[in-house]
Structure 1
Amino acid sequence: MFPNNKVCDVSIDIPPQGNSECFDDDGRPRRSGTLWTASAHITTAVIGSGVLSLAWAIAQLGWIAGPVVILLFSWVTYYTSTLLSDCYRNNDPDTGKRNYTYMDAVKSNLGGAKVKICGVVQYLNLVGSAIGYTIAASISMMAIKRSNCFHKSGGKDPCHINSNPYMIAFGIMQIVLSQIPNFDQLWWLSIVAAVMSFTYSTIGLGLGIAKVAETRTIMGSMTGISIGSVTETQKMWRRFQALGNIAFAYSFSLILLEIQDTIRSPPSEAKTMKKATIISVAVSTVFYMLCGCMGYAAFGDLAPGNLLTGFGFYNPYWLLDIANVAIVVHLVGGYQVFCQPFFAFVEKAAAEKYPDSNFITREIRVRVPCFCHCNINLFRSVWRTAFVIVATLISMLLPFFNDVVGILGALGFWPLTIYFPIEMYIEQKRIRKWSKRWICLQILSVVCLIITISSAAGSIAGVILDLKSFKPFKTSY
């Protein structure tokens, strides 16, 4: 449905058109995204599995540094996201040439080898997010099974479960959903996922408050986990890893321009995106502070790596089941929000290289009962299925939630959230070198680079430690 209630029958075979009721200024079918659909996409990307590790992250940093770091990350993410949203169009925010993807923006503003570097980092992060979401979803599915097992046995049965069947089940769901051809068609899935994220975050918060009320004690310390529970070296690495966990909780810049490309105009896409960003980041930060702080207050040094699956809570088991079902549903949607840009990139590159291949370019219309019809592309079906299978296998080989989350946060935070947005903004706005603003932006970039290197080192150290006791496809939890 388009303006003036006009229905537009748009086919992919129609050549680019001029600006009209059915087409945008770039000749593509008119975009229909709004402030609220953009906010839903961002919220789905932001309030993901990362919120579940924040109690653990604050436990490593303590009552002072933990909340301060979360607030700093939220401000930096919002600020650099506003810089990035200005790069959606070149020069003029209303009529400039559109950059449909993050890589398009880097190519237009920076060019050269930086485009390839950006592509490698961005798509590695998208692939990594698929792996992280698979691990998190399997942990929640296992938690449902274990909570019911604990309830039936009265806590006598250790209820050890192998994660592999649950990862495979999640992978099968993603194979089906990955056949959705376009990112713009995912708005409904993002809204459902956003609702689920608020559901499990609220349950986690409520259980934390209930735990504090029950014990009448606020756990934790000003400096974080105490020496004795861990060694000094382990505490240092864990603090670094905690920075990566918090960075991952705010990682959505890598798909910001893809989300912005779904927004209709006027007003300009940048104005709508900035409003959507501040709404989403503000709401996310409130939830992060509440969930992270209440989880730490409830468990102190013993705060689990995953608040709802680490079994800091046992009862009411049915409420835990609802929370973990909500997590799984959210991660199903979040997986697609992160992977669709990568799918589109590969399929576009293949179509450009082999334009005459029917296997790659041909759309087969298939009638589906109750759904009228859908378009099937053989290359899309085969390659997306193969991607999900590979991501699932890697998840089965490295099922370490906190470590993987930390690595993903470190991998994407500085280059995609900080460096490229700042450099593109400087280039587009022609900010003079060594000016006051240029110096401030560079200082911000260098500080965040140091944080990224530290968090990556801590997370890698965690993976190495976990691998010493892990046997692929055999270890149960």
Structure 2
Amino acid sequence: MLVQESFELENGSVEDDNLQYENEIRTGTVWTGIAHIITAVIGAGVLSLAWSTAQLGWIAGPGVLLCFAVVTYISASLISDCYRSPDPVTGTRNPSYMDAVRVILGRKHAWFCGFLQYISFYGVGIAYVITTSTCMRAIQKSNCYHKKGHKANCAYGDHIFMLLFGVIQIVLSQIPDIHDMAWLSIVAAIMSFSYAFIGLGLGFSKVVENENIQGSIRGVPTDTVAQKIWLILQAVGDIAFAYPYSIILLEIQPLGTIHQETS
């Protein structure tokens, strides 16, 4: 874990702590860095952007997207300046968020920021579990409708899919040096483009089928105000989930993984 690795360093100056990275070889390339960025920017969050825009409407939807994009851009710009400190060119490299906080703000602030960072990771993990289970349930419902017709009772729960996804993640987490597999990010980048274009194609085909662009300025209507407020909050949360880039920017900054130099 990054927090544990950051604080299990030997006592000494902050500069001495980060000298461990200066004796290591970065084997990443521009292409592996691009693959990491694509995977982070075009993540699973894009799957819910169309639904979120429909709930918020044609004005609030793009507006919220633009606001989160601006916040992400500013955050990424500020965090990028923290990659080397105190000098942006000759300073010590900080290849993780926790290293940058410890070097610039000190260890006490690093503990606090590390706590917030891992709460954020915990929330993102929950969001991925829910998103994955929802997608698996949607696939099962789609197969049911194709076999039995759209009037069939194709209601399924998502608890079994959550458990299944969790088991798969536990098994995959046991693979040694999984963070060193550059091809994994390349495959993830290809998948990101794939489902993004699939969603675009489905939306375009629906427009052609209906012969008009549906939606409204106020979004999808609901029966009650409380239901509308809940859907708006859910839509804003889904859009925020689609912008996690700045959280892992420093880990992407070295353009790939870091390997210990061998003699």
Query: TM-score range with shorter-chain normalisation?
Result: 0.7 to 0.9
CA distance in 2, matches of 1:144, 1:232: 31
Does structure 2 conserve the Cα–Cα contact (< 8 Å) formed by 1:101 and 1:257?
A: yes
Deviation at 1:192, TM superposition (A): 0.7
Matched, 1:255 2:228: no
| Equivalent residue, structure 1, for 2:189 | 194
CA distance in 2, matches of 1:156, 1:62: 29
CA distance in 1, matches of 2:88, 2:54: 43
| Equivalent residue, structure 1, for 2:51 | 56
Correspondence for 1:138 among 133, 137, 140: 133
| Equivalent residue, structure 2, for 1:235 | 228
CA distance in 1, matches of 2:141, 2:112: 43
CA distance in 1, matches of 2:81, 2:31: 19
CA distance in 1, matches of 2:135, 2:229: 29
- Code of the aligned partner of 1:190: S
CA distance in 2, matches of 1:183, 1:93: 30
Does structure 2 conserve the Cα–Cα contact (< 8 Å) formed by 1:184 and 1:262?
A: no
Does structure 1 conserve the Cα–Cα contact (< 8 Å) formed by 2:124 and 2:241?
A: no
CA distance in 2, matches of 1:68, 1:39: 27
Correspondence for 1:159 among 154, 161, 164: 154
Deviation at 1:209, TM superposition (A): 0.9
Deviation at 1:249, TM superposition (A): 0.5
Deviation at 1:25, TM superposition (A): 8.3
Deviation at 1:42, TM superposition (A): 2.4
- Code of the aligned partner of 2:247: L
Paired residues for 1:462-477 under 5 Å: none
Matched, 1:109 2:104: yes
Quote the sequence identity (%): 54
Deviation at 1:202, TM superposition (A): 0.9
Secondary structure of 1:30's partner? strand
CA distance in 2, matches of 1:28, 1:263: 16
Deviation at 1:244, TM superposition (A): 2.3
Matched, 1:74 2:45: no
Deviation at 1:135, TM superposition (A): 2.0
Does structure 1 conserve the Cα–Cα contact (< 8 Å) formed by 2:81 and 2:88?
A: yes
CA distance in 2, matches of 1:189, 1:141: 22
| Equivalent residue, structure 1, for 2:174 | 179
Does structure 2 conserve the Cα–Cα contact (< 8 Å) formed by 1:54 and 1:245?
A: yes
| Equivalent residue, structure 2, for 1:246 | 239
Going from structure 1 to structure 2, the CA distance change for 1:224 and 1:141 (only over 3 Å counts) comes to closer
CA distance in 1, matches of 2:233, 2:147: 39
Deviation at 1:184, TM superposition (A): 4.2
Structure 2 gap ranges (5+): 1-18, 258-263
* Alpha-carbon displacement from aligned partner over 1:147-166 (angstroms, at most 9, x marks no partner): 22211112242222232332
CA distance in 2, matches of 1:168, 1:104: 34
- Code of the aligned partner of 2:25: R
- Code of the aligned partner of 2:249: L
Does structure 2 conserve the Cα–Cα contact (< 8 Å) formed by 1:89 and 1:97?
A: yes
Structure 1 gap ranges (5+): 1-23, 265-477
* Alpha-carbon displacement from aligned partner over 1:236-275 (angstroms, at most 9, x marks no partner): 44334322221211112222112224549xxxxxxxxxxx
* Alpha-carbon displacement from aligned partner over 1:287-341 (angstroms, at most 9, x marks no partner): xxxxxxxxxxxxxxxxxxxxxxxxxxxxxxxxxxxxxxxxxxxxxxxxxxxxxxx
* Alpha-carbon displacement from aligned partner over 1:6-64 (angstroms, at most 9, x marks no partner): xxxxxxxxxxxxxxxxxx98344311222321222122223222112212221232112
> What's the TM-score, normalizing by structure 1?
0.46
The size of the alignment, in residue pairs, is 240
> What's the TM-score, normalizing by structure 2?
0.81
Does structure 2 conserve the Cα–Cα contact (< 8 Å) formed by 1:46 and 1:252?
A: yes
CA distance in 1, matches of 2:192, 2:44: 9
| Equivalent residue, structure 2, for 1:40 | 35
CA distance in 1, matches of 2:246, 2:196: 22
CA distance in 2, matches of 1:83, 1:201: 28
Matched, 1:97 2:71: no
Correspondence for 1:85 among 69, 73, 80: 80
Going from structure 1 to structure 2, the CA distance change for 1:237 and 1:159 (only over 3 Å counts) comes to closer
Does structure 1 conserve the Cα–Cα contact (< 8 Å) formed by 2:129 and 2:166?
A: yes
| Equivalent residue, structure 2, for 1:378 | none
Correspondence for 2:119 among 115, 120, 124: 124
Going from structure 1 to structure 2, the CA distance change for 1:171 and 1:236 (only over 3 Å counts) comes to closer
Secondary structure of 2:92's partner? coil
Select the structure with the greater relative contact order (CA < 8 A; seq sep ≥ 6): 2
- Code of the aligned partner of 1:217: N
| Equivalent residue, structure 1, for 2:216 | 221
Does structure 1 conserve the Cα–Cα contact (< 8 Å) formed by 2:182 and 2:256?
A: no
CA distance in 1, matches of 2:220, 2:138: 25
- Code of the aligned partner of 1:252: Y
CA distance in 2, matches of 1:183, 1:89: 26
Deviation at 1:84, TM superposition (A): 0.4
- Code of the aligned partner of 2:124: S
